[in-house]
Amino acid sequence: MFQTLPLRSRWPLAPCGAQQLSLQGRSWAFRERAQRRPPAGCARWLVSTASKTVWPSPCLKAWEVGSSGYPKPARWFPGAAAQTLSWNRVTRRQFSQGPPSTGGSATRLQLRTRLLITCLFGGAALGTWLYLRSEKERQQKLQRIQELKKVAIGQGDFHLVDHTGQPRSKADFLGQWVLLYFGFTHCPDICPEELEKMSQVVQLLDQEPQLPRVQPVFITVDPERDDVAAVAKYVREFHPRLLGLTGSPEQVREAGRAYRVYYSTGPRDEDDDYIVDHTVIVYLLNPDGLFLDYYNRSKSEAQIVQSVRGHMETYKTLFS
């Protein structure tokens, strides 16, 4: 006894394809092309006999199962009559016909659509995040500028006298780049070395005409011995533009406190001589009067020049 099960072929067949037959517990999928197109109204009915299963002309060849249990091609019946078994009837158009399936193309289209939607949403989210971050940075910068403006008005203010006897304050240096050093004229080695290094830095910067000029300033931390005359004699040993400042002990103390400079007078010897211990730092002030950077003894002339040049190139005034 034969039994047929309907199965649509996954291959495009013309004009029709085969079914899968379950024969004696084994399954085979067969596909044979008809040699000519079936006539109009061809009813595809399965014709079954005791030894063979055939398709009426002009449909597919049928297969039969021999005594060995293996299928073999049955004869071709070009004009066989349509005889069917009631329990083994096959419905019309059981076989794959028409154009190839477009399921793969539809799947690719859906994937592309999903990717496009994902990219659109991702781009919108990224753009929103970048905008919010830039806006936050802009607000922080404006707030920082306002704070620096308030600090710039009073930071490091001083009222001293220069080595020519003229009163000086911080306002006199606004609009200039300033290298500032605190020391004293009786310093045996450190102060001369640092002032010489600062003078070399100023000379190197003067060799670059595109850069603004730097004003070197020396403020004494020993007002008891460093009067106007002593400071004038001392600064002449260094850069010609070096400006020396002095004043009363209280004025010098206020200037040091404004820049957080530490200094302390040591014990006196039998000659009434003493050493002043103090902070060894060169300060950089921008034209707004703000402290920008500092350079200790480990910094070389070339390093200081590079740093000052960088600050000059990136400088933006706060009072424009």
* Binding site, annotated residues for Cu cation: 187, 191, 278
What percent helix, strand, coil does the chain show, rounded to 5? 35, 20, 50
CB count within 10 Å of CB 315 equals: 13
What is the Cα–Cα distance from 303 to 99, expressed in whole angstroms?
78
Helix (H, G, I), strand (E, B) or coil at 12: coil
Please give the order of strands across the beta sheet that includes 291-295: 167-169, 159-162, 243-246, 214-220, 177-183, 282-285, 291-295
Task: Name the residue among 193, 253, 192, 196 with its Cα closest to residue 222.
Answer: 253
What is the Cα–Cα distance from 41 to 156, expressed in whole angstroms?
107
What is the Cα–Cα distance from 71 to 108, expressed in whole angstroms?
40
Asked if 182 and 219 touch (Cβ cutoff 8 Å), the reply is: yes
Parallel/antiparallel/unpaired status of strands 243-246 and 53-54: unpaired
Place of tokens 């070389």: 300
Helix or strand run (H / E) with residue 31: none
Task: Name the residue among 26, 33, 27, 28 with its Cα closest to residue 11.
Answer: 33
Residue ranges of the annotated binding site are 187, 191, 278
Token pair, residue 10, equals: 């996954």
Query: What secondary structure letter does DSSP report for 170?
Result: G
Q: Identify the bridge partners of residue 178 per DSSP, sorted by sequence position.
A: 215, 285
CB count within 10 Å of CB 265 equals: 14
Asked if 146 and 316 touch (Cβ cutoff 8 Å), the reply is: no
